[in-house]
Structure 1
Amino acid sequence: MAKANVTFEDINVTVSVPAGTRVIEVSEKVGAGITYGCREGDCGTCIMKVTKGWDNLSEPSVLEDKVLRENMAGKHNRLACQAQVLGGDISVKPA
C-alpha cells in the first residue's frame, strides 16, 4: 500500500501514513492545531492551508468545494476532514 509523508507545519512534525488516510485523523493523533467540528464536511471548522503536495491529496468533493466557497477559502485550502492522502509529501497548517 502506498504511503505518504504528512508534515504539520504548526508543530513541525512529519508522519508517514497509508494512502486513503484523512488528514484530520493524523492531525488528531499528533496534536496538530487543526480544529474541527462536525467531521462530515458541513461546518468548515477544519479548513487547512496546503503548502506543499496539493496534488497528493484526493480531489475535493462537491460538498467540500461548496463549503470552501461559502467560507471564502483560498486556492490551496482544504477541509482536513475530507482530504485524503494519496502518496508523496504533503505539508499543511491551520488556515
Structure 2
Amino acid sequence: MAKATITFEDINVTVTVPAGTRVIEISEKVGAGITYGCREGDCGTCIMQVTEGWNNLSEPSVLEDKILRDNYAGKHNRLACQAQVLGGKISVKPA
C-alpha cells in the first residue's frame, strides 16, 4: 500500500500514513490545530491551507468545492474532512 508523509506546520509534526487516509483523522491523532464542527452540523470549520503537496491529495468533490467557495477559501485551501492522502509529501496548517 502506498504511503505518504504529512507535516502539520502548526505543531511541527510529520507522520507517515497510508494512502486513502483523510487529513482530519491524522490531525485528530497528532493533536494538530485543524478544528471541525461536522458532528455539530457546522460544515466548513475544518478548512486547512495546503502549503506543499497539493497534487498529493484527492480532487475536491463538487460539494467540497461549493463549501470552499461559500467560505471564500483561497486557492490552496481544502476541507480536512474531505481531503484524502494519495501519497508523496504534504504540508498543511489551519486556515
Displacement of 1:23 in angstroms is 0.1
Displacement of 1:27 in angstroms is 0.1
| Aligned equivalent of 2:72 | 72
| C-alpha distance in 2 between matches for 1:87 and 1:15 | 12
| C-alpha distance in 2 between matches for 1:55 and 1:65 | 16
- Letter paired with 2:75: K
Q: Secondary structure at the match of 1:67?
A: helix
Q: Deviations over 1:37-60 (max 9, x none)?
A: 116xx7100000000000000000
| C-alpha distance in 2 between matches for 1:75 and 1:16 | 25
- Letter paired with 1:65: D
| C-alpha distance in 1 between matches for 2:93 and 2:6 | 11
| Aligned equivalent of 2:43 | 43
Displacement of 1:70 in angstroms is 0.1
**Aligned 1:25-36 pairs, distance under 5 A:** 25-36=25-36
| C-alpha distance in 1 between matches for 2:23 and 2:38 | 15
5+ long unaligned stretches in structure 1? none
| Aligned equivalent of 2:53 | 53
| C-alpha distance in 2 between matches for 1:12 and 1:38 | 25
Identity %: 88
Q: Deviations over 1:46-92 (max 9, x none)?
A: 00000000000000000000000000000000000000000000000
Matched, 1:87 2:87: yes
Following superposition, which runs of at least 4 residues in structure 1 exceed 2 angstroms of deviation? none
Number of residues paired by the alignment?
94
Matched, 1:17 2:17: yes
